Amino acid sequence: MARPLIAGNWKMNLRLSEAISLAEAVRREAEKADGPDLLLCPPFPFLAAVGEALRGSRVALGAQTLHPEPKGAYTGEVAGEMLAEVGCRFAIVGHSERRQHFREDNAAVAARVRAAHRARLAALVCVGETLPEREEGRTLEVVERQAGAALEAHPSDVASVTVAYEPVWAIGTGRIATVEQAAEAHQAIRRLVRETRPSARDVRVLYGGSVTPDTAPALLAHPEVDGALVGGASLKADSFLAIVRAVPKARLGRSA
């Protein structure tokens, strides 16, 4: 079983001073006690300063997206190599807001997974169905198609894979998947990883979508749930750290 990961996706929120204070609070928590692996994904302009605040700690830094190319005439875009240079170890890929607002389809997501590996970043791949897709009974079909496209883009000898199941209808809505709904999707994703990338021994399937200190304990107690990708509740130290502390002690202390 993989060591749990709690990741904060700050999206386009916070001022620089707030971002640094929040990073420092998470760092202090990480120093205090054994806990899950931690990842913070600030907006691009804050990466270097937050990376500095986290330097030497066990809190990893991640970007919210990356461009497929290593360099070039792509005004406004950022390459994985640049992210690695400022200390990123992860890049979120395929977040539903990227799929929706920036028209990133499965091919675009796959290109970004390849770019992440080229830059030696771990891709945190997001997949999830919309509400109409769930209501039409197509949840697993959609999740498997999205995850399959992203997994094919991982090198065949990849050792570690991180996927977040994020039902689109649960993101930022206060509506959360039941533990059973999450577990069903997680099982399907895990099965697909086993089939397509058997070299991956460190496989983490996170849940994302309106995770709060109230909803986290039941989700994180389920053996199919290897952690959480947290949006809104990651913007305040109190709520994010309450989620971090909700990881059952029995899941800690063992690396994949």
Stretch that binds ligand PEP, among 83-91, 106-114, 186-194, 226-234 (CB under 6 A): 226-234
Residue of closest CB approach to ligand PEP: 231
Segment lying near ligand PEP (by CB under 6 A), choices 14-22, 29-37, 80-88, 207-215:
207-215
Residues 162-181 touching ligand PEP, rule: CB under 6 A, are 166, 171-172
State which of residues 62, 208, 227, 237 lies at the interface with ligand PEP (CB under 6 A): 208
Cβ(147)–Cβ(139) below 8 Å: no
95 annotated active-site = yes
Secondary structure of the chain in HEC code, one letter for each residue? CCCCEEEEECCCCCCHHHHHHHHHHHHHHHHHCCCCEEEEECCHHHHHHHHHHHCCCCEEEEECCCECCCCCCCCCCCEHHHHHHCCCCEEEECCHHHHHHCCCCHHHHHHHHHHHHHCCCEEEEEECCCHHHHHCCCHHHHHHHHHHHHHHHCCCCCCEEEEEECCHHHCCCCCCCCHHHHHHHHHHHHHHHHHHCCCCCEEEEEEECCCCCCCHHHHHCCCCCCEEEECHHHCCHHHHHHHHHCCCHHHCCCCC
**CB 97, min distance to ligand PEP, A:** 7
Q: Out of 104, 166, 186, 224, which one is annotated catalytic?
A: 166
CB of 71 to ligand PEP, least distance (A): 28
Among 94, 231, 241, 243, binds ligand PEP (CB under 6 A): 231
For residue 187, which of 150, 151, 158, 224 has the smallest C-alpha distance? 224
Tell me which stretch binds ligand PEP (CB under 6 A): 29-37, 48-56, 102-110, 231-239.
Answer: 231-239
Is residue 166 part of the annotated active site? The answer reads yes
Q: How far is the CB of 164 from ligand PEP (least distance, A)?
A: 7
Which residue number, 81 or 217, has a Cβ lying nearer to ligand PEP?
A: 217
Residue 232 as a binder of ligand PEP (CB under 6 A): the answer is yes
Q: Which position among 67, 95, 154, 186 bears the catalytic label?
A: 95
Enumerate residues 68-97 that contact ligand PEP by CB under 6 A. Answer: none
Residue numbers annotated as active site: 95, 166
Q: Which residues bind ligand PEP (CB under 6 A)?
A: 9, 166, 171-172, 208-211, 229-233
